[in-house]
Chain A
């Protein structure tokens, strides 16, 4: 074999294969957003936000902690807006490193989230005044969590990501269980199992990338 220049040839086949895997893993890592930054803000928003809902609007109208009635929704909304901004900034910063079909896909997926959440918010706002407080709360929370589960499952289909599909299915499942259990219980289940699921997803994703 004639080398085309004096650059050092790889040492042996096993080392070359290891080198290939190292470089592939390195760039793969550099081109994926940190899973902790993508999942933890949402996990924390759900854990804290829905826990406040449970404490203030417990099952059968119970009040475990007499917080101001506006506080749980305000806290959840703020935390979710913060999470949306964080994942949006982190995601777009990473996607700028590549130009082509991949970042178009990512942009379309990001836009899907915003459009779907806006549509659901406008729809649910129409019913907020005609439903009892606890039912309206369940409609909002159940709808948003259903949307989140479905979008994670769709995202998993785009990137062929089994873990993301698992997270989406899990979120959808616990949402249905919570809705059937009723107002109050839904908040507790979503806080612990939903928020906890996202924190776990971020941790697993990060450990796999390391």
Chain B
């Protein structure tokens, strides 16, 4: 049994390890594979400004964790966001790492 949780901290994904992006990825993780959420809906649920959300989405996009698509619903342009497979994997790893930090004994 080790009481040094410090090395695990370095394994936490720096892309997700920021409050705002953790919130974005957590919310997106509710969507089922291949479902996309409308940007305004995501913004409203997260209670973030459009600018702030855009900045974080861009960073997540750079890491290929989310995919942002622009489309049209009739005549109105719509921006849709989804979590990529890679993003979901990173999120699962991140939560697993957090649980391991909390319960080091349960680590196999």
A2 touches B14 (CB 8 A): yes
Least CB distance from A185 to B in Å reads 43
Chain A residues lying within 8 Å of B37, measured Cβ to Cβ, are: 27, 31, 97-99
B36 touches A100 (CB 8 A): yes
A7 touches B21 (CB 8 A): yes
- Interface bracket on A: 20 to 34
Is A68 interfacial (CB-CB < 8 Å)?
no
A13 touches B21 (CB 8 A): no
Least CB distance from B85 to A in Å reads 14
A10 touches B19 (CB 8 A): yes
A5 touches B59 (CB 8 A): yes
Chain B residues lying within 8 Å of A5, measured Cβ to Cβ, are: 18, 59
Is A9 interfacial (CB-CB < 8 Å)?
yes
A97–B80 alpha-carbon span in the complex (Å): 10
Chain A residues lying within 8 Å of B42, measured Cβ to Cβ, are: 27
Chain B residues lying within 8 Å of A103, measured Cβ to Cβ, are: 35
Chain A residues lying within 8 Å of B31, measured Cβ to Cβ, are: 27, 31, 98, 100, 102
A17 touches B45 (CB 8 A): no
Chain A residues lying within 8 Å of B46, measured Cβ to Cβ, are: 23
Is B30 interfacial (CB-CB < 8 Å)?
yes
- Interface bracket on B: 35 or more
Chain A residues lying within 8 Å of B19, measured Cβ to Cβ, are: 7-10, 19
B98 touches A17 (CB 8 A): yes
Closest B residue by C-beta to A101: B34
Least CB distance from A44 to B in Å reads 30
A20–B23 alpha-carbon span in the complex (Å): 6
Chain B residues lying within 8 Å of A7, measured Cβ to Cβ, are: 18-21, 56
User: Which of B17, B41, B80 is in CB contact (< 8 Å) with A10?
Assistant: B17
- Most chain B CB atoms below 10 A, which of A4, A14, A19, A27: A27
Contact with A along B16-29 (1 / 0, CB 8 A): 01111111001111
On whether A30 and B41 interact (CB within 8 A), knowing A1-B12, A101-B35, the answer reads yes
Contact with B along A171-183 (1 / 0, CB 8 A): 0000000000000
Chain A residues lying within 8 Å of B27, measured Cβ to Cβ, are: 23-24, 26-27
Least CB distance from B41 to A in Å reads 4
Binding site for A on B (CB under 8 A): 9-10, 12, 14-15, 17-23, 26-38, 41-42, 44-46, 56, 59, 80, 82, 95, 98-99, 101-102
- New A-B pairs, 16, CB < 8 Å, besides A10-B18, A98-B38, A101-B33: A3-B17, A7-B19, A7-B21, A9-B18, A17-B98, A19-B23, A20-B98, A21-B26, A24-B27, A27-B42, A31-B30, A31-B37, A97-B37, A99-B36, A101-B32, A103-B35
